[in-house]
Structure 1
């Protein structure tokens, strides 16, 4: 379950970042994080804190729930 949750977050983070036209570096700067941290989150290699979920959501101008909601095919 944990790896599924990390993968959901990773997929949503990358999708939202790309759709916002941001590089990992630009997103990291906006969120006050390091680019390699954002990269490892996008690869589902890191457990992320609630604080960093909120920082990334704010940097993406989205609700933090958008980073955690599973995408259901066909929606």
Structure 2
């Protein structure tokens, strides 16, 4: 297992976005933890690099209806 931390900038990240983004990111295999900084407008995701790629995380954010910066 190779844990990777991805910091994903999300356009207009608000408190209302946390639940749908968390649900979408948890669907990606290998995701271990998700944290958000509303101040910096980022999602911090730790995941197993053997199970997922950063592109999988970005796609999940976009499919949840949010723009990746």
Which interval holds the TM-score relative to the shorter structure? Answer: 0.3 to 0.5
> What TM-score do the two structures reach when normalised by structure 2?
0.36
Bigger helix share? 1
**Quick one: higher RCO (CA 8 Å, sep 6+), 1 or 2?**
2
> What TM-score do the two structures reach when normalised by structure 1?
0.34
Bigger strand share? 2
